[in-house]
A and B are shown apart, each in its own frame.
Chain A
Amino acid sequence: MAKEIYSTYPMVKYLRREALPTALCPGCGGGTVLNAFANAVDGLKLDPKDLVVVSGIGCSAWIASPYFLADTLHTTHGRAIAFATGVKVGLPDKKVVVISGDGDLASIGGNHLIHAARRNIDVTVILVNNFIYGMTGGQVAPTTPFGAKTTTSPYRNIEHPLQISETVAAAGASYVARWTTAHVYQLIESIKTALQVKGFSLVEVISQCPVQYGRRNRMKEPAEMLRWFLRNSVPVSKARKMRPEELEGKFVVGEIVRRERPEFTEELNKLVDEVQEHFGLKGE
């Protein structure tokens, strides 16, 4: 039964069939993200042989690794971007993509995230933000909304969530966009843009986790979470005219930043050329 469904799904050519079905919970936003990524790759007619996908640890790390059929590097918790940095320097002509969660990339991996943005290395990061540590059982995360309940904030969360996209934009990324899993087409377009932008790009995807987050916060049905996203999404252009208190609890969606800055691997190779030139070491 399951096999029949997969065989009729047009994006199945991008998936590692022997790894299916996915380990994601019913109603998880991870499937939407995988679908969006596959559609972006398909839309750009990218050869998966020109892709290396790196992920860390956690539910969202599984989205692309092992399911996406490319060279995949499934790394230690929080370090995916640092691993990807080494891959990109070795393969500057390939598209190097990191797909992982908020707990992985913005919490334990926060340092690598801001420094990769500062360096402006040409890596595309798709950061799936579901406000929670899903795989370990729904503990509070640095992205958990103020006041929300989790297994380790059973009364309420008294910490303020990290604004990931704004932080990465401030750190110097070339491209930052944020969407939710309720904005599938916009998400695909942003992933396409991110894959084409030269420099560090981040697409933050607000995603539903009905099992660990939703059911503890009066949204146990996936659709309820998607309606919550839609109701509270504010386009960037509109958000710029709003006061901070009005934006409390809202999801600002759209392109946060898009700009050109010298890219790291290009600068690195330029430096090598200059040094070799200077010392008369240029080979023919």
Chain B
Amino acid sequence: MIIRGDEPEQLELLRKLYKPGNYFLQGNEALSYGALFAGCRFYAGYPITPSSEIAETMARELPKLGGYYLQMEDEIGSIAAMVGASWTGFKVMTATSGPGFSLMQENLGYAVMTETPLVLVDVQRSGPSTGQATKGAQGDFFQARWGTHGDHPMVAVSPISGQDAFWEVIRAFNIAERLRTPVVFLFDGVLAHTREQVRIPDVSEVEITYRKLPANEEEAKLPFGDPHGDGVPPMPLFGHGYFTHVTGSTHKENGLRDVYTPEVHDKLVRRIHRKIEKNRDVYESYEERFTDDAEILVVSWGVTARPALGAVIRAREEGIKAGLFVPKTVHPFPGERMRQLGKRVRAVLVPEMNLGQMILEVERHVNDDVLLRGINRIGGVPLTVEEILREIRGVA
């Protein structure tokens, strides 16, 4: 069994096609190149602003690497085709935005239940509904977490720049493969369309992981078992004669449906949760600046983390002890670290391009005596350094 894109000649191909160096790239392009370096060789999607350049880049580049671009009839078909392709051994990705992400939610749940690795990029745009289709926003924080139905875990990654998108999408693929799970990649319309300097590295700098394959016939016969005790079953790929049965219904370790035994459902869903909870080291990631002695902590994510950093640096210049905490994996939220930081500060400010979403996660982890305040902007225009700085001064 092979994971497509894993062949040694692929490294040579990447080297030949994408010379290491600095490029002037749009966020969507940087993300796409990251996906190619991560080994993505199958993309199924449906165009939607502001994600379309990802589809365009993948359509142009994938065939060069022997990969496949499929433009499906809609978003539902796109994620469905991804799941099918993932079971044949492809690393797969799709990109969408707002309404398209909503349409994908049912099959995202299917991917959780069938433990299918895939990366779903949501280039967040202003909503609800068609909203401001061309404008960026950060309003899908909870759609990523709770968009599909039922009790389910979810991993979501969010970068802060085009350069960051290149590396973070590689990390998203590695998490998806390691934990045999879908990973949501929360990008946004502002970063997606911003052009900036992006360094393309040599392939040797990129660390790639692949899903665990069955070591023997016994493991292959239990596509939803837990032979290694880490909650992550080896994945028997289609086409290798294992007669694997995959269903989104509650199933036993051998894959066969059993929707009547409470214990079977309990065991399955709890293991799917456990594999995410127990493998925090695989996905947890955050960045900190000036947190050692900070009295005022700014907690921000995605596009807003950049003006937030500018504001914190300016505040330091003015002698205000401000610090910055940026979760890069936003789900599961790095609550433990948030709790530690929350103990030491007087005030926590949470700037976001929404009416207050991540602040609810922050709130769960800080004490009542900490002054907690959101800095919220909607309408498609990002927050500025000056606006965030003003709020820092206000609580200093």
Give the interface of A toward B (CB within 8 A): 16, 18-19, 48-49, 52, 54, 65-66, 69-76, 79, 82-91, 94, 111-112, 115, 268, 271-272, 275-276, 279, 281, 283
Other A-B pairs, 9, CB within 8 Å; known A91-B238, A279-B17: A48-B243, A49-B240, A49-B241, A69-B243, A72-B243, A74-B249, A82-B73, A272-B67, A283-B13
Partner of A76, one of B74, B81, B110: B110
Is A271 a contact partner of B245 (Cβ separation < 8 A)?
Answer: no
List the 7 shortest-distance A-B pairs measured between CB atoms, nearest first.
Answer: A90-B88, A86-B84, A86-B81, A82-B80, A86-B85, A82-B77, A74-B247
- A73-B246, A94-B239, A281-B17 known; A54+B110 contact, CB < 8 A: no
Is B81 a contact partner of A82 (Cβ separation < 8 A)?
Answer: yes
Contact residues in A for B78 (Cβ distance below 8 Å): 82
**Which A residue sits closest to B238, measured CB to CB?**
A71
Contact residues in A for B246 (Cβ distance below 8 Å): 72-74
Partner of B248, one of A16, A76, A271, A272: A76
**Which A residue sits closest to B78, measured CB to CB?**
A82
Contact residues in B for A85 (Cβ distance below 8 Å): 44, 70, 72, 77, 80-81, 84
Contact residues in B for A271 (Cβ distance below 8 Å): 63
Contact residues in B for A74 (Cβ distance below 8 Å): 245-249, 257
Contact residues in B for A75 (Cβ distance below 8 Å): 80, 83, 110, 248
Contact residues in B for A69 (Cβ distance below 8 Å): 243
Cβ proximity bits B242-256 to A, threshold 8 Å, 1 near / 0 not: 111111110000001
What is the number of residues of chain B that contact chain A, defined by CB distance less than 8 Å? 49
Considering the chains assembled together, what is the distance between the CA atoms of A80 and B256 in angstroms? 18
Is A90 a contact partner of B248 (Cβ separation < 8 A)?
Answer: no
Considering the chains assembled together, what is the distance between the CA atoms of A275 and B248 in angstroms? 37
Partner of B84, one of A16, A54, A268, A275: A54
Any A CB within 8 A of the CB of B33: no
- A115-B73, A272-B66 known; A86+B245 contact, CB < 8 A: no
**Which B residue sits closest to A18, measured CB to CB?**
B256
Considering the chains assembled together, what is the distance between the CA atoms of A76 and B114 in angstroms? 11
Q: Which of B42, B63, B257 has the most CB of A within 10 A?
A: B63
- A66-B247, A111-B73 known; A71+B80 contact, CB < 8 A: no
**Which B residue sits closest to A74, measured CB to CB?**
B247
Considering the chains assembled together, what is the distance between the CA atoms of A86 and B81 in angstroms? 4
Is A90 a contact partner of B85 (Cβ separation < 8 A)?
Answer: yes
Considering the chains assembled together, what is the distance between the CA atoms of A82 and B45 in angstroms? 12
- List 29 contacting pairs A-B, 8 Å CB cutoff, sorted by A: A16-B245, A65-B245, A65-B247, A66-B245, A66-B247, A71-B243, A71-B245, A74-B246, A75-B248, A76-B110, A79-B80, A82-B73, A82-B84, A85-B70, A85-B80, A86-B81, A86-B84, A86-B88, A87-B85, A89-B85, A90-B87, A90-B89, A94-B239, A272-B63, A272-B67, A275-B64, A281-B13, A283-B9, A283-B13
Minimal beta-carbon separation of B131 from chain A (angstroms)? 25
Considering the chains assembled together, what is the distance between the CA atoms of A16 and B243 in angstroms? 9
Contact residues in A for B77 (Cβ distance below 8 Å): 79, 82, 85, 111-112, 115
- A85-B72, A86-B42, A281-B13 known; A66+B257 contact, CB < 8 A: yes
Considering the chains assembled together, what is the distance between the CA atoms of A205 and B87 in angstroms? 29
Any A CB within 8 A of the CB of B391: no
**Which A residue sits closest to B109, measured CB to CB?**
A76
- A19-B256, A71-B243, A79-B76 known; A87+B84 contact, CB < 8 A: yes
Minimal beta-carbon separation of B135 from chain A (angstroms)? 29
Considering the chains assembled together, what is the distance between the CA atoms of A115 and B81 in angstroms? 13
Is B241 a contact partner of A82 (Cβ separation < 8 A)?
Answer: no
Contact residues in A for B17 (Cβ distance below 8 Å): 279, 281
Is B242 a contact partner of A71 (Cβ separation < 8 A)?
Answer: yes
Considering the chains assembled together, what is the distance between the CA atoms of A91 and B244 in angstroms? 15
Is A71 a contact partner of B64 (Cβ separation < 8 A)?
Answer: no
Considering the chains assembled together, what is the distance between the CA atoms of A89 and B78 in angstroms? 13
Q: Which residues, 19 to 77 on B, are CB-close (under 8 Å) to A? A: 42, 44, 63-68, 70, 72-74, 76-77
- A74-B249, A89-B70, A275-B63 known; A83+B238 contact, CB < 8 A: no
- A66-B257, A76-B106, A90-B90 known; A83+B68 contact, CB < 8 A: no
Minimal beta-carbon separation of B12 from chain A (angstroms)? 8
